[in-house]
Amino acid sequence: MTPKLISIITPAWKEADNLPVLYARLAAVLEGKEWEWVIIDDHSPDGTFAAIHALAQKDSRVRGIRLSRNSGSHVALTAGINQAAGACGILIAADLQDPPETIPELLAEWEQGSQVVWAVRAARKGESATTKGFSRLYYWIMRRLVGMKDMPATGADFLLMDRKVIEAFNRFNESNVSILSLITWMGFKQTRILYTKEARLHGETGWTFAKKCRLVIDSVTSFSHFPIRLMGILGFVFAFMGFLYALFILYSKLTGSVQVTGYATTMIVILVLGGLQMMMMGVLGEYLWRGLDESRRRPRYMIEEETRD
């Protein structure tokens, strides 16, 4: 660690056009400070690593690392945090939706003693209603169901971490986890500032619906037993309903008050209970798969190339 060195950590996937613009804005914002920029190319199929290499040749403060396979932004961020040498690390996306001009506010809170400073979205420009709705749902699940009440309700993935937090984070080796949820769970002295999330400057987001669903599953299964407990509650409720229905059938047979047809009733019960059981097996499978995946102890990422090679 170098005292007062600021590490900027950026995951990049198909960001060849955005990186030079982000570099210019970072250099202007951090003028007069000691800083490094660690960029993790998540195995982009375009010229992203070539753009990183060009920046590294121009400025020795830029370090580029290319992963050997596309692993997702959270794995790329993990690789960047592992490589950061600064007294603090700032996680910022390459798409320029998080304005670098917010960094002085993050640093000001850090210098006053905060160990994690979240830049919380006060507004979001250029994003669809579907994206905003999914984001709200995700953070509602994390706050209300998982129990992370300190997580910002409007979302935050632009933040500063103190060196103590970075070292604590580097002790974790979980493969299937939301690192932003993990940082929230870790505790430390956390605070927040507000900013406006801008529209993407160039390119398209790689944050697909499938990746969003994966994030929800990883976040919930990593920090909560709620789905398994819900399965137990549903099992009890349906068993109780089955018991009541059996009493109703018995009463109807004895009194002849209601004619009960067999086929339709049987099919309804089979379909409902069969679907519920399959859903429960799927939830159990998610937990079992993650346990198996962790037990393999495979590295979370592998480095294919570095700009300093």
Give the tens place of pLDDT for each residue, 229-246.
Answer: 676 667 667 666 766 776
**Bigger pLDDT: 265 or 160?**
160
Mean pLDDT over 75-86 rounds to 87
**Bigger pLDDT: 77 or 147?**
77
Residues 6+ apart with CB under 8 A from 81: 9, 89, 91, 161, 166, 169, 170, 179
Q: What is the mean pLDDT of the chain?
A: 76
Whether 126 contacts 166, CB under 8 Å: no
Please give the pLDDT value at position 7: 92
pLDDT tens, position by position, 133-159: 666 676 666 666 666 666 666 666 788
pTM: predicted TM-score of the whole model, two decimal places = 0.68
Structure tokens at 262: 């067999």
Whether 95 contacts 73, CB under 8 Å: no
Mean pLDDT over 67-92 rounds to 86
Please give the pLDDT value at position 47: 84
Q: Are strands 86-91 and 2-12 parallel, antiparallel or unpaired?
A: parallel
With a cut of 70, say whether residue 258 has pLDDT above it: no
Band of the pLDDT at 306, cuts 50, 70, 90?
A: confident
**Bigger pLDDT: 196 or 207?**
196
Closest CA to 138 of 159, 122, 158, 153: 153
With a cut of 60, say whether residue 57 has pLDDT above it: yes
Question: 2-204+298-306 domain in CATH 3.90.550.10?
Answer: yes
Band of the pLDDT at 225, cuts 50, 70, 90?
A: low
Domain ranges of the chain: 2-204+298-306, 226-296
With a cut of 70, say whether residue 164 has pLDDT above it: yes
Residue 242's identity, in one-letter code, is: G
Lowest mean pLDDT among 19-28, 50-59, 67-76, 280-289: 280-289
Most confident listed range (129-143, 158-172, 195-209): 158-172
Residues 6+ apart with CB under 8 A from 16: 44, 46, 47, 48, 50, 51
Please give the pLDDT value at position 18: 86
Please give the pLDDT value at position 192: 81
Closest CA to 216 of 119, 114, 286: 286
Mean pLDDT over 117-145 rounds to 68
**Bigger pLDDT: 208 or 90?**
90
